[in-house]
A and B are shown apart, each in its own frame.
Chain A
Amino acid sequence: MEKDEEQDIRLDTAPDSDLEDDELIQDWSQAAQLSIRSSTLPKRGEKDYEPDGTNVQELLLYRARKAMFDTLSNSARGSVVKNLVKAYYDPHEHKALVLRPKGNFLHTLGKMHRDGTVWLEFHEFVYLAERGSITPFYKMDGIDWINQELPLTIEDLYMLFKSQEELDTFFVFEHLKRLGFIVMPTNNSLDSFFEPKVGKNSGQALSNTWNLLPEWRKTIHNTIFYSPWKFWLNRYTSNPQIYQSLNQLIPSYRAPRTEEELRRTRFGSMTKKPSAFPISLNVWKPRTDFKKKSPGIPDFQVVIYNKNDPNQHFPTYHELQEIFQYLDYKFEFLSEIDDKWDWDDHSYHDGKLRSQTVANVKSKNAGVAADSKKSQKVKPKRKPKPKSPRVQQKIRLKNGFRSFLLAVMDDGMISFIKISETDFGSENVWYVPQLTTKKPTL
């Protein structure tokens, strides 16, 4: 009964049903089967709409709760002393030092030094301490901090955050990290979609003078079209002609949609002062071949906005535009239309084209076998089914072009919004009847 209802709702609200999978409550009866006293416990039962006077619901609840407690009380907990990793917080650096680093987390976190130690950023330090992957200590001046250890509690760690912004960034970092994403701060990232410092502002100035010409043409056109004599001066033989005359009136912002346009708009903006909405985090989808030294450009970029901070506000249009101009990630609208697109050919690492620097390392480490395997894997996924121009247009309008994630903080609740630039002004959707008659269109 419940399911039927659920399906009905799902049909009505397809995009929202995304949420359901995420928010499923943990089913302890599954975990209970792994514990020692594994008996067959019922799955999560049917849920009723309202109390019906019987104790069926209570019984189900009791069983589920019992499953949870049985599991928790019978599992072995604690950590092995040998695997303990100690990290020392350095108040001057606002970072933490790990003298003997080991563990899986090193794939995506921390910065390795030549002497074999690892420095953790503060948010990485807190995250790992909360997870129990490291044990936090304080590195105090003037004492032998390695032998006279000063352990820190989780509460202490939270007191060491320097600002609300830092704390918010940490929450978003931690949230995405727990969900399996690879997250890094945007500062000192060496990878970029944009080639460093080649274009100058002269290109911008040139395009400005170019733009003036069509402006004049438009003005003259509009003067004629919006005069009472327009139909005496001009005759329209098709609907597109009428539309084209209409759409000269309202100017609109154009979203850059090609690689060249992206690079051009980028350079016009970079001289400005730092934005009020800095891009704080780079996010990669979970993947196994991640290299923190050369991660490539991220899949998403995150801007954080605290809804309850009176000094912050939802970005205005110009602030949004500014954020768009600072974006530097895998602009998915470029790779989606091109099957052969390889991001290594279109991004730079430390000023050099990635395909030139990274490819060498790759072939040395992984060998050719892994590469060919990967390409085989990818192929069946992406079916080279050409989409009709109509459908492609819809996708362009719906998904937009440059986009970023706005993480909205509300007292520890994080909601993500994807904001993308879209451009209705460059797309015409008027209906062109597909007539087979050979009418001359001029």
Chain B
Amino acid sequence: MGKRKPSSARYKYPLPIHPIELPPLIPHNPISWVYWTYCYFSSVNGLTNKIHVEFFNDKYVHIVVKDDSQMNYLWENGFFGTGQLSRSEPTWKNRTHNRLADSDGHGNALEKVTQHRRLLRLEFKKQREKMEQELLELRRKGGTIEQEKELLEQQRKSLRVYKSQQSSAEVLPHEETIRDIDLLLFTDDGKIRQLESLELMPVEAMFLTFALPVLDITAKDLTRRLVGIPEKYEDIHQFISQYVVYHHYRSHGWCARSGVKFGCDYLLYQRGPPLEHAEFCVRILNSNDIKDYNWYSSLARVVAGANKTYVLCYVESLRSPETILRWWHQGNYKSIFSSYKVGEITYKRWIPGKNRE
């Protein structure tokens, strides 16, 4: 568990369905042809053991995967789902293990890195506050502007030094010891209980049943759990447009994850969250939607502040709501999803002074 594969090996496959592996085909060696043909027909892309999902709640359904290895499989092959006790990858058990069992964990779980960085920042701010106090002291004593400038220069320099020292010195967060309450986490044979499960977004679950047969349910069962038996088109419209957009990006190679932390619908990663920052924020709109200008501008501001590109993804319905609803009852999802067309624009603030050249 402590050993981590390099990410290129760990995240080798972008989807939970893998291509079949074929032996090399040597043109002048007929035996290799036979072997190749045998391999071709004997292997299958589909999973032998489909991933088991459970549902919780009735009104707002939670779709969860509980098995350890299956949770990992979904995360490592396309970054599906979110650990309920973690930021995204289900790392709770590992982290707890590192905390309680052995202290030689290098603290390289993402959560730990962030915690460490925040601590450093806090220290830095304290230092800065101290210096501000010094300045005030000088002012109270009636120092001249020149004196003040000198002090400021001095402080700036020392802060810079402090910062560089901070980044070079690895101050590990202090170790915690086992508390009484932690004992509840152990099973009888001294192992840590898995309390965490992986929760899938409805669109992710749909993708993993309808587009790629990975979960052990059918698309029809899934939609029944999600929306019941819809009476009106409005009941299913939102889910359809969310899925259409999700499938659109997934199928062109993007790793789409929830963008709720940036006020949008999806974040697009070229490969996946551990490997790079998301560069696009996607917001879904109907092609005839009209929003108040503030709706666009506030979102643009948030997205630009996070250094991402703001994409408005418009979904246009090509069929009548009645047809869609009929198809839904028939379970004809393929026809439903292909009767929506998507179009995208990017929205950027434009600053005259920066475009004068």
A residues lining the B interface (CB < 8 Å)? 1, 3-4, 12-16, 18-19, 21-22, 42, 45-46, 52-54, 56, 59-60, 175-176, 179-181, 218-219, 222-223, 226, 228, 231-232, 235-239, 241-243, 246-247, 249-253, 285-286, 300, 305, 307, 313-314, 316-318, 320-321, 394, 397-400, 405, 408, 410, 415-425, 427-431, 433, 438-440
Contact = CB atoms under 8 A, between A and B. Distances in A.
A420 to B, nearest CB: 5
B128 interface: yes
Contacts of A1: 128, 131-132, 135, 152, 155-156, 159
Among A60, A243, A410, which residue has the most Cβ atoms of chain B within 10 A? A243
Interface in B306-354: 307, 309, 311, 314, 316, 318, 333-334, 337-338, 340-354
A231 B289 CA distance: 40
11 contacts: A1-B128, A1-B135, A4-B159, A12-B305, A249-B247, A251-B342, A317-B285, A317-B289, A399-B346, A424-B311, A429-B270
A318 B297 CA distance: 20
Given A237-B22, A250-B342, A46 B152 contact: yes
Nearest to A45: B145
Contact of B350 (A237, A318, A400, A417): A417
**What is the size category of the interface that chain B forms with chain A?**
35 or more
Contact of B252 (A13, A318, A427): A427
A210 to B, nearest CB: 18
B110 to A, nearest CB: 19
A405 B350 contact: yes
Contact of A314 (B128, B290, B301): B290
A415 B297 contact: yes
B287 interface: yes
Contacts of A249: 211, 247, 251, 334, 337-338
A418 B290 contact: no
- Give the top 5 A-B pairs by smallest Cβ distance, nearest first: A430-B253, A253-B343, A247-B251, A246-B251, A317-B314
Contact of B351 (A18, A218, A252, A313): A18
B33 to A, nearest CB: 12
Nearest to A63: B145
A316 B287 contact: yes
Nearest to B349: A417
A252 B342 contact: yes
A313 B45 CA distance: 50
Contacts, number: 243
Contacts of A12: 305, 307
Interface string B1-34: 0000000100011110101101011000000000
A252 B356 contact: no
B20 A237 contact: yes
Contact of B316 (A313, A317, A421): A317
B356 A181 contact: yes
Contact of B296 (A314, A397, A438): A314
Contacts of B345: 317, 320, 400, 419-422
Contacts of B353: 18, 21-22, 179
A15 B19 CA distance: 40
Interface string B31-58: 0000000001001111000000000000
A56 B252 contact: no
Interface in B234-290: 244, 247-254, 270-271, 279-280, 285, 287-290
A19 B355 CA distance: 12
B81 to A, nearest CB: 19
A14 B341 contact: no
B233 interface: no
Interface string B150-180: 0010011001100000000000000000000
Contacts of A320: 345
A431 B14 contact: yes
B139 interface: yes
A440 B22 CA distance: 9
Given A241-B19, A249-B251, A314 B307 contact: no
Given A13-B307, A307-B293, A19 B343 contact: no
Main secondary structure of the interface of B (DSSP, over half): mixed
A14 B351 contact: no
Given A21-B353, A394-B279, A235 B43 contact: yes
A439 B21 CA distance: 10
A20 B305 CA distance: 14
B293 A314 contact: yes
Nearest to A219: B338
B107 interface: no
B73 interface: no
B334 A313 contact: no
Contact of A238 (B12, B19, B160, B351): B19
Contacts of A222: 334, 338
Given A228-B213, A236-B20, A428 B244 contact: no
Nearest to A178: B352
A21 B356 CA distance: 13
A198 to B, nearest CB: 28
A15 B307 contact: yes
Given A15-B304, A317-B314, A180 B288 contact: no
Given A246-B211, A285-B355, A231 B45 contact: yes
A294 B20 CA distance: 62
B14 A239 contact: yes
A253 B337 contact: no
A251 B341 contact: yes
Nearest to B271: A431
Nearest to A244: B251
A22 B353 CA distance: 6
A417 B347 contact: yes
B24 A52 contact: no
Given A250-B338, A417-B350, A433 B252 contact: no
B279 A420 contact: no
Contacts of B232: none
B114 to A, nearest CB: 15
A21 B355 CA distance: 12
B136 interface: yes
Given A226-B211, A250-B337, A313-B290, A242 B347 contact: no
